[in-house]
């Protein structure tokens, strides 16, 4: 997947002259947490987060009157509180590379630029949604296997064959390397297979089954 597959297109923007109250109101009304800032020509010049807005709001302990506060806030413009320069990415950037950058830089969003134009924005919520979509495989019933295998060529083909030969079809698959550098964990989600038969076939080729369960069986609860 690429950034263009997960980003929000035609993002809402503000100009450098937008006031802090207007920006706060926009974020609240549109339910967004970040907004790119453009100049009068429409060129991207910065980005503002909800944290930037909060940090520039007056303290509840202030002794200023409401009129004085509103006067000061109306003088505070986007150009004064925005982050600039701003990191951007391209629509054809692989999704995992953009996510890596967010983690490394501890930021929550990347405006997306193409040929000098702002065409989208991708946020941590978009990455989370893409992650869930890739691993969930939809709402089709089936089994979820977590396996530990040696890292060698052909192991994924072996797993696919085992699932297929026992009446199933793979819906989603993901891998994670073990710290020992020799093994990897493999998550396989499938539909239609005989669980006992799959377990037996995996044992016959010395593939360790760490967990197997029906999909969507995780329990959630609330505590005081």
* pLDDT tens digits for range 76-127: 899 999 999 999 999 999 999 999 999 999 999 999 999 999 999 999 999 9
pLDDT for residue 60: 52
End-to-end CA, the chain: 40
- The predicted model gives 62-67 an average pLDDT of 52
- DSSP state string for 42-60: S-EEEEEEHHHHHHHSPPT
Q: Which residues of 148-169 are buried (b: 16+ CB within 10 A; e: fewer)?
A: ebeeeeebeeebbebbeebebe
Instruction: Determine the pLDDT at residue 190.
Output: 86
Q: In the numeric block, which tokens belong to residue 85?
A: 């320069």
pTM surpassing 0.85? no
**Average pLDDT over the chain, rounded to an integer:** 86
pLDDT tens, 9-41? 999 999 999 999 899 999 999 999 999 999 999
pLDDT above 90 coverage of the chain, percent: 45
Confidence check: pLDDT of 170 > 70: yes
pLDDT band, very low/low/confident/very high, at 66 (cuts 50, 70, 90) = low
Q: Is the pLDDT of residue 194 over 50?
A: yes
pLDDT for the residue 61: 45
- Once rounded to an integer, what is the mean pLDDT over residues 55-83? 68
Q: Please give the structure tokens belonging to residue 124.
A: 């941590």
> What element of type H or E holds 21?
helix 20-30
Q: Answer yes or no: is pLDDT of 74 > 70.
A: no
Asked if residues 34 and 108 have their Cβ atoms less than 8 Å apart, the reply is yes
What is the structure's pLDDT at 15?
96
Please list, in sequence order, all residues whose beta carbon lies within 8 angstroms of the beta carbon of residue 51, skipping any fewer than 6 positions away: none
Widest pairwise Cα distance in the chain: 77
Percent of the chain with pLDDT over 70: 87
Say if residue 67's pLDDT is above 70: no
Domains of the chain in sequence order: 3-131 (3.10.580.10), 137-214 (3.30.70.260)
pLDDT on residue 59: 52
| DSSP assignment letter at 93 | S
Is the pLDDT at 152 greater than 50, yes or no?
Answer: yes
Residue 135: band (very low, low, confident or very high) from pLDDT cuts 50, 70, 90: confident
- DSSP-derived letter for residue 40 is T
Is the bond into 193 cis (omega within 30 degrees of 0)? no
- Least confident span in 53-67, 81-95, 123-137, 163-177: 53-67
């Amino acid at each position: 997947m690429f950034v263009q597959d997960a980003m929000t297109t035609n993002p809402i923007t503000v100009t450098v002259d937008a006031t802090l109250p207007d920006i706060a109101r926009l974020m609240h009304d549109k339910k967004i947490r970040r907004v790119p800032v453009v100049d009068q020509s429409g060129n991207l010049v910065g980005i503002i987060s909800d944290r930037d807005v909060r940090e520039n709001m007056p303290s509840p302990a202030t002794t200023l009157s409401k009129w004085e506060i509103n006067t000061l806030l109306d003088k505070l413009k986007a150009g004064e509180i925005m982050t600039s320069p701003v990191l951007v990415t391209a629509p054809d950037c692989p999704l995992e590379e953009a996510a890596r950058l967010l983690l490394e830089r501890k930021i929550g969003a990347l405006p997306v630029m193409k040929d000098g134009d702002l065409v989208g924005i991708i946020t941590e919520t978009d990455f989370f949604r893409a992650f869930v979509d890739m691993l969930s495989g939809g709402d089709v019933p089936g089994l979820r296997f977590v396996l530990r295998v040696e890292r060698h060529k052909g192991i994924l083909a072996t797993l696919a064959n085992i699932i297929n030969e026992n009446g199933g079809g793979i819906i989603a698959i993901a891998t994670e390397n073990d710290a020992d550098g020799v093994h990897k964990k493999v998550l396989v989600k499938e539909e239609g297979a005989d669980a006992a038969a799959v377990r037996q076939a995996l044992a016959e080729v010395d593939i360790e089954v760490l967990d197997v369960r029906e999909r969507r069986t995780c329990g959630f609860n609330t505590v005081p």
